[in-house]
Amino acid sequence: MNGIICLETEWEHTIVKNRLSLKTEPLLDFLKSSCLCKVIYRRVATKSELQYYLRRFKNVEYIDYSIIYLSFHGDTHSIMLEGEPKNNRELSLEDLSIMADGCFENRFVHFSSCRTFGGGNTELEKFKSSTGALYISGYTTSVDSTLSAINDIAFFDQIFRFKKKKALISSAMNKYYEGLGKKLGFRIL
């Protein structure tokens, strides 16, 4: 269970003030060589593209990919699909759970997006339960892309070290990266 599937937004489609030059692919290359993990990386701009990949990655040949890494703009309990019309960009966690249709089951699902974990726990717990995700993680604040990239690398490293032991993963993240986690509002459920 040493693999990462990353679905990342098409940053070029976003409004000018939110365009980022940081992409996750170089981070994944680093993880691939340092953690000796398998990596699949896909860019998505629309809900239909996201749904296509979620359907594909629930197939049995992808069972060894234990982490689903979602790199998007976000807001409270939602992510943004930048290729959609402005009034249809937001995808709620509830709608994502329906769209995932089993893809997140027994996997770590990490939201590398601003504010997706903001607000109360009810929606987050519902998402985790309805998708069958092993653990879900994300940020409560508007994050700095460099700092969140550092946190993402550290978090995935701890997952690969401790596998499915949430207490050990959380403990290691608190021990080594507590200040960073607090600054970003990083949470694991």
Domains of the chain: 3-188 (3.40.50.1460)
User: What residues are paired with 42 via a beta bridge?
Assistant: 7
Cα separation, 83 vs 161, in Å, equals 36
The CA–CA distances, whole Å, from 88 to 57, 97, 123 equal 24, 17, 20
- Positions of the chain with pLDDT under 50: none
Tokens linked to 97: 């759970």
Burial per residue of 3-40, b for 16 or more beta-carbon CB atoms within 10 angstroms, e otherwise:
bbbbbbbebeebeeeeeeeebbeebbeebeeebebebb
Among candidates 141, 82, 87, which has minimal Cα distance to 112? Answer: 141
Q: What is the pLDDT of residue 163?
A: 83
Number of Cβ within 10 Å of residue 86's Cβ equals: 8
Strand order in the sheet with 90-92: 73-75, 78-80, 90-92
Burial per residue of 93-111, b for 16 or more beta-carbon CB atoms within 10 angstroms, e otherwise:
beebbebbeebbeebbbbb
